[in-house]
Amino acid sequence: MKKIIWLLCIWIISIQAEAQIRQAKLQASGLTCALCAKAVYANLESLPFIQKIDTDLNGSAFILEFNGKQIDLDAIRKKVEDAGFSVAGLELTATFINTEIEADKHISYQGMIFHFVGSKKSILNGEQTIKIVDKNFILLKDQKKIQHLTKLPCYSTGYVSDCCNIEKTDEPQRVYHLIV
């Protein structure tokens, strides 16, 4: 009986360990040289939840690997902006386990609230790439193409509102809008 309980505990821990954001591809706008990329790299390196950073100078991109600590997407954006640049795109690679999504559905995932915009009803399983489509995470021209996919007020404010199927707290809760 003890063996069964022990194996069950290991299995539950392994499932929780898999259900996480593993890495991100960050596209920076305005990088013109290696020194620009170095400034962004140095700022990102100071974030406690980033384990490793690889750079793609040709694509002005950074591949961020996470270490399992709580991820703060706004802190990533802020570090890029503090270096004098802007975020042109942020794609996350995450593992989902039987996660039901559909257009305008909100879910709580790894301590964050995600709002799926323009998504067809489906179940996410396994590793998926999701793109953050909030203001300041994509180019303005791309934001204009996406804003018609939802009319919910949380898209314009970035915070939980009455439209969200998430229980409100006393503190404002950040909502990240994304497409699969």
Write down the pTM of the prediction. Answer: 0.85
* Domains of the chain, first to last: 19-179 (3.30.70.100)
Tens digit of pLDDT at every position of the chain (180 positions): 555 444 344 444 444 434 589 999 999 998 888 888 999 999 999 999 999 999 987 777 999 999 999 999 999 999 999 999 999 999 999 999 999 999 999 999 998 999 999 999 999 999 999 999 999 999 989 988 888 899 888 988 899 877 777 777 778 899 999 999
- CA distances to 22, 92, 120, 128 from 37, in Å: 22, 20, 37, 27
In angstroms, the CA 79 to CA 175 distance is 19
CA 53, 115, 138, 129: dihedral to nearest 10 degrees? Answer: 50
